[in-house]
Amino acid sequence: MPYRELPIIDAPSQAFTTTLAGRRCDFAVNYSTFDDRWSFNLDVDGVRVLSGRKIVLGVDLVAPFALGIGSLIAAPWGDEGAQPGRTELPSGRVRLFHYDPAEAAA
């Protein structure tokens, strides 16, 4: 399956580890009351590659960094006007997806 949803729970600060494109990815996801937005830190294979990357809609959040892990995209789900605020991401009104083009080609 080329698309996979990444889990965001209802906690303003959270961490999880997953494998993306065969690489270990450690996420630390945090909510900012100042910005009313979520951001994340990302370690790939034990190396910090991103810090404070804001989660915004409709763009590949990791493409500018050529990390070799595919794409991460936030998208509204069932509510086209939803933004990644405090409740929208954990409730599923906005979802964070991983896409790996190599899986799609297989």
Instruction: Spell out where 21-59 has E strands.
Output: 23-32, 37-44, 47-54
Residue 2 corresponds to which tokens in the numbers above?
């080329």
34 contact partners, CB below 8 Å, separation of at least 6 = none
Is the confidence at residue 33, as pLDDT, over 80? yes
pLDDT tens digits, 38-86? 999 999 999 999 999 999 999 999 999 999 999 999 999 988 889 999 9
Mean confidence (pLDDT) of the chain: 92
Instruction: Break the chain into its structural domains and give their ranges.
Output: 3-105
Report the alpha-carbon distance of residue 46 to residue 40 in Å, rounded: 15
How many residues can be counted in the chain? Answer: 106
- Name the DSSP letter for residue 7: P
